[in-house]
Amino acid sequence: MNKQKIQSFGRFLSGMVMPNIGAFIAWGFITALFIATGWFPNEKLATLVGPMLTYLLPLLIAYEGGKMVGGQRGAVIGAIATLGVIVGTEYTMFMGAMLMGPFAGWVIKRFDKAVDGKIKPGFEMLVNNFSVGILGMLLAILGYYVIGPFMGGVLSVLNAGVAFLVNHSILPLVSIFVEPAKVLFLNNAINHGIFTPLGAEQVAATGKSIFYMIETNPGPGLGVLLAYWFFSKDQAVKDSAPGAIIIHFFGGIHEIYFPYVLMHPSLLLATIGGSMSALLYYTIFDMGLAGPPSPGSIIAYLAMAPKNNIFGVIIGVAIATAVSFAIAMPIVKHAGTSKMSLDEAKADDASRHAASKSAVEVKPIASADVRKIDFACDAGMGSSAMGASVLKNKLKEAGRDDIKVVHSSVSEIPNDVQLIVCHQDLKERAKKSAPGIRIVTISNFMSAPEYDALANELKK
């Protein structure tokens, strides 16, 4: 239960940032290209960097946070209120936006509930518009005098802590917490909920940030996958590793290597070691990225690298890969017969889930009545899009190309689907999001036997 609550809270934080990642990337490109130390210095275009950082990005976050809580009206009042927070402090208010946006959405939602059914006919638009205007004004004033200065104090403490970690070269220790959290599907929450805002603060001061390089480095996962490819005694795992490497390293979908680590949890030592080694190198040589590499692909990594850091960034990824591979190699090589194979692990997991009881009765549905399937992942972008594509091809081979396969966040599953497919660690969240709908869980996005089993079940 605690794990689910942490995932849900982390998903809420990252949910405010992830829909706006394109804006962060645009800002990162402008920074990397046009500031004085960029690829193509341009004094006039460089003036875009400050306003985007100070106003555009925090307001987009606040808009999304308000919308998540209070719908469209919550989005508007969230942006209004957050402007007071922005102006009320000298710091970039990403965290202030993540606080004020949802709070303002909650305020307008409570107001709408209080006046529901009490507004005289013909006055609805008047009340709706003036309520957002007046409450938005009051919240902006609160933000200016209270929330802004308070968050400024919090950020000053955080910045001092960050400076201490960086100056004493102990930032690599965060890998001890980050890498285990990633395989529990907290990667998006950590990256976009914590490191992206912190990274933006650092970019504002120095033009680059090491925080963009912590969770997103593809090297640790690559080292583990390479170890499986060369040394696994399970032929099915060995054969699936090359495809996983391409998707992970070039596609940036890190979730693809999580099941490989979970098969032998001691492989966390490899990912932690690889991440720590790269971070130590990046800290010593003052490396950083100009924007968040999303997804965590080597292509995105290099695209966000400042001109004078690009070769250092490549070296850091290589170090992470080499260290992770060196630690993973003996673990994979000598664990072959003493651990369950990947198929056995999947079968065991499937049996455990089948044995568990759900508090909500699952509606039975005939195969012929299935018209829409949703593939859900944490963010609704990377791994779910890939899984939906794989499942769509399987269904097409089974003669069921009439079934529409969509992908979404596990927190925003469409209400018109008949089946849900998701990773086993996300099952409880999917049940809460779409009670009563049958859920098929998988443990490996690329080669899950559940794909074939589901396709055969739905076959014409």
What pTM was estimated for this model as a whole? 0.68
Asked whether the beta carbons of 235 and 337 are under 8 A apart, the reply is no
Could you give the strand order of the β-sheet that contains 419-423, starting from the edge strand earlier in sequence?
404-409, 372-377, 419-423, 438-442
Residue 170's pLDDT is 84
Which two three-digit tokens encode residue 185?
Answer: 């599907």
CA angle 399, 403, 409 (to 5 degrees): 135
Q: Which portions of the chain are predicted below pLDDT 70?
A: 1-8, 10, 185, 189, 193, 336-365, 379-380, 444-448, 460
Which candidate, 172, 278, 176, places its Cα nearest to that of 223? Answer: 278
The C-alpha atoms of residue 455 and residue 395 are separated, in whole angstroms, by 5
Which two three-digit tokens encode residue 2?
Answer: 């605690």
Q: Domains along the chain? A: 2-170+184-193 (no CATH), 202-341 (no CATH), 345-457 (3.40.50.2300)
Phi then psi for residue 415, to 5 deg, are -85, 0
Q: Output the CA torsion sign for 233, 234, 236, 240.
A: negative
Which candidate, 95, 71, 137, 317, places its Cα nearest to that of 213? Answer: 317
Residue 364's pLDDT is 57
Residue 271's pLDDT is 94
Residue 140's pLDDT is 96
The C-alpha atoms of residue 313 and residue 309 are separated, in whole angstroms, by 6
Asked whether the beta carbons of 8 and 425 are under 8 A apart, the reply is no
Residue 363's pLDDT is 53
Rg (CA), the chain: 24
268-284 and 310-334 helices cross at what angle (nearest 10)?
160
Extended beta strands in 133-189, E state: none
> Exposed e or buried b for every residue in 24-46, given b needs 16+ CB within 10 A?
bbebbbbbbbbbeebeeeeeeeb
Residue 49's pLDDT is 87
Residue 1's pLDDT is 47
Residue 245, number of CB atoms within 10 A of its CB: 21
Q: Which residues pair with 422 in a beta bridge?
A: 376, 441
Helix (H) or strand (E) holding 41: none
Which candidate, 330, 337, 326, 321, places its Cα nearest to that of 245? Answer: 321
Residue 347's pLDDT is 44
Asked whether the beta carbons of 199 and 218 are under 8 A apart, the reply is no
Residue 191's pLDDT is 72
In terms of Cβ atoms closer than 10 Å to its own Cβ (0-12, 13-18, 19+), residue 256 is: buried
Residue 345's pLDDT is 43
Residues with active-site annotation: 377
